[in-house]
Structure 1
Amino acid sequence: MKKTLFAALAAMTLTVCSSAYAEDLEFLLHNDSSSDLVEFNISPASSDDWEEDLLADGYLAPGYETGVDIVDGLTTCIYDIRGIFADGSEAEDFGLNLCDLGEYTFTD
């Protein structure tokens, strides 16, 4: 079972904190879709469950971006991403190498 991540949204930066034993992962998240991003999850690819919502009652409007820092203490770079939008649509992407990614964009 996955280790629970703790999230905080402040000054348009998402930060996931638990342990700092592994190198931090950072990337830029873009919402180029036509709907507000209302839920955002990142989970290690080895897990069968989604971690908690990193937007935590917030949202990312179309045309905006935010920085994401993952400090989960894991030594993996491979994660799955899920976004849920205000219009009811959902997007999932699996097996992403976040160490090399640099940025991720949700589109329609």
Structure 2
Amino acid sequence: MLLRRFVLAAVAFGLSALPALAQSNDPSFNLVNRSGQTIMEAYASPSSDSNWGVDRLGRDVIPNGRSYALRLPPGECVYDIRVVYQDRRSEERRNVNTCQLTDVVFGQQTGGGQPGGGQPGGGQPGSGPAAQSPQGNPSFNLVNNTGRTIRELYASLSTDSNWGDDRLGQDMVATGRTYPVRLPQGDCIYDVRVVFDNNQAQERRRLNLCEVTNLTFP
């Protein structure tokens, strides 16, 4: 009788542990919209990645009060998530361990987030030069309506003295396509430069990217 109880207890423990093991490396989650407006775009990329990747909604949208199952490949668990609302305002969650979550809810943040993905507490009044510079989320979508392929993209703070690295890396942006450009939270004022496949270039200077969702060339 004692042996039978031990066996049953072991089986019960094993069965109860299986779901946790099965979900331990699955970063998929339900994106829940409680923002009061429709979510038009959603991006989810491992926090170790340098860009947002493709819009995971495709042709779908998420009306207020609805949820959408985002299927992500097993493996990495720590993701950055970005949504774009129908008024073109964006909102982000950073370093989220989605393997430990079922739902990720947008629209329930406190702390007075600002339109354009502003980060609460980005600066204190009267704290010097930083208080005079807009703070928030400068990430944007590069839209190529030029008729030529964009081969290189540079985006640097207007206070910097050089352009820095090509933010496309190995990618290119064909005419008529859109490319999400991921920039760190903080200062908003950027200079942007694109180089086309014929080596011609165009620039935009002193842009407040925190107020821009789609940056279109030309």
Give the alignment partner of residue 89 of structure 1, picking from 179, 194, 200. 200
Q: Which amino acid aligns with 1:97?
A: N
Q: Which amino acid aligns with 1:44?
A: L
Which residue number corresponds to residue 16 of structure 1? none
Q: RMSD of the TM alignment (CA)?
A: 2.5
Aligned pair 1:62/2:175, yes or no? yes
Q: Following the alignment from structure 1 to structure 2, what is the Cα–Cα distance between the partners of residues 9 and 77? A: 18
| Deviation, structure 1 residue 104 | 0.4
Preserved CA contact (<8 Å) 1:37 1:86: yes
Preserved CA contact (<8 Å) 1:9 1:56: no
Which residue number corresponds to residue 46 of structure 1? 159
Post-superposition Cα deviations, 1:55-100, rounded to whole Å, max 9, x if no partner, equal 11220000000222212x5x31100000000012100111000011
Gaps of 5+ in 1: 1-6, 14-19
Which residue number corresponds to residue 36 of structure 1? 149
Higher relative contact order, chain-length normalized (CA < 8 Å, sep 6+): 1
Gaps of 5+ in 2: 1-48, 56-94, 96-118, 123-135
Q: Aligned to 1:61, what secondary structure does the other structure show?
A: coil
Aligned pair 1:77/2:157, yes or no? no
Preserved CA contact (<8 Å) 2:158 2:206: yes
Aligned-pair identity (%): 26
Q: Following the alignment from structure 2 to structure 1, what is the Cα–Cα distance between the partners of residues 181 and 152? A: 14
Q: Following the alignment from structure 2 to structure 1, what is the Cα–Cα distance between the partners of residues 191 and 177? A: 21
Which stretches of structure 1, 4 residues or more, deviate above 4 A after TM superposition?
Answer: 20-23
Q: Following the alignment from structure 1 to structure 2, what is the Cα–Cα distance between the partners of residues 29 and 82? A: 11
Q: Following the alignment from structure 2 to structure 1, what is the Cα–Cα distance between the partners of residues 189 and 51? A: 23
Which residue number corresponds to residue 210 of structure 2? 99
More helix by share: 2
Preserved CA contact (<8 Å) 2:53 2:180: no
Structure 2 length as normaliser, TM-score?
0.39
Q: Following the alignment from structure 1 to structure 2, what is the Cα–Cα distance between the partners of residues 61 and 102? A: 19
Preserved CA contact (<8 Å) 1:31 1:105: yes
Which residue number corresponds to residue 75 of structure 2? none
How many residues in Structure 1 have an aligned counterpart in Structure 2? 94
Q: Which amino acid aligns with 1:58?
A: D
